[in-house]
Amino acid sequence: RSSDLEADEASNVVNLVSSFPYESIPLSSEEEGEPKSITTPLKRILPSNHKNMVVPNNTDLIPGVYEGGLKVWECSLDLCYYITQQLLLLQNNRTFDKNDLSILELGCGHGLPSCLLLRELLGKAFNMTVLFSDYNEFVLRDVTLPNVLLNTLLPSSTAQDSEKLTSSVGMVSGDWLQLSIHLSNNTLPQISSLGDQYKPPQDGKFDVILMAETTYTTLAARQTAFLILHHLKLPLSRSLEHKNIDKGDDSGGVAFVASKRYYFGVGGGVDVFREECQTLKLVVDDDTHGDDENKRTSWWKLQVETVQVYDNGKGNIRELLKVTPYLVVDE
């Protein structure tokens, strides 16, 4: 009898989700002209009027008040296109533990890249979790959550599927640096739209971090680099050399940052983000090399690699960056 009630609840959720107004987003890019491995479009909710806050129609963001989460940004779609190309690689990449995959999407807005990964991987290849983070709580409730439900729950979904989803997805709003503190102290205050079953990594470090359009000012680029350095899973091997990062023989995490090359008038972009990554370092407190007389300090830094360039000759060039940690030992 209990299972019947649970099945009815799951059915009610699916019926509710199917009533949401949405549009389909094909997982292909006219700029690339390459065949994609995934043909099922993503769905994204069409936001209605928001009672929580009035967002002017001609305003993409209001710094410190509204950070643009209602808009589907170009670079977010670039990240989705890249994921469709690399999904099989991600599933087989030895960087990820086969039984556990933790994902953080920073500045998620509609959260489409992580929705895609949830739809394709949840319950299929990994025991995965996703933490959606956006500055505005109403964005998470009004667009991120509906998008998660639209893309993961089907008419055939069961109560077990719903339960799996609630334990796999977390949502948190607020400032990035406060997020970092909560992750480091394991005190994350979640939005309870999907329940309280989600548990972030105990050490606050993730296998995958996804970001799109989070480098639009110098400060935002610096904070993006900071979050990656402090919350991306570090390689287990303390002897990792810079040249060995891509050999797939270690268990460090990977971040993907989709960004415009320049954000005119506000100072951010790819080059600024690279500079911030070069500047930042995370000193290894408990690790020294050599004897007492010749101790050498070590620290973690970030390598940034461009893996895709999007240039249609009509607008701002966009890049997709792969970011990985590497260890530096002071000689």
In this predicted structure, the answer to whether residue 194 has a pLDDT above a threshold of 60 is yes
Would you state the structure tokens that stand for residue 85, as one six-digit string?
């190309």
User: Residue 223: its pLDDT value, please?
Assistant: 93
Query: What is residue 252's predicted lDDT score, i.e. its pLDDT?
Result: 85
- Cα(83)–Cα(224) distance, rounded to whole angstroms? 20
The confidence score (pLDDT) of residue 148 equals 92
Tokens of 70: 């209602």
Sign (positive/negative) of CA torsion 321, 165, 28, 136? negative
CA count, 13 A, side-chain hemisphere, 115: 29
* Average confidence (pLDDT) over 118-135: 83
User: How large a percentage of the chain has pLDDT more than 70?
Assistant: 66
Exposure of 315 by Cβ count < 10 A (0-12 exposed, 13-18 middle, 19+ buried)?
exposed
The rounded distance, in Å, linking the Cα atoms of 184 and 199 is: 13
Angle at 42 between CA 38 and CA 47, to 5 degrees: 170
**pTM assigned to the model:** 0.82
Question: Does residue 273 carry a pLDDT above 60?
Answer: yes
Asked whether residue 309 carries a pLDDT value surpassing 90, the answer given is yes
Which percentage of the chain shows pLDDT scores above 90?
A: 32
Say if CB 251 and CB 324 are below 8 A apart.
no
The more confident residue out of 238 and 261 is 261
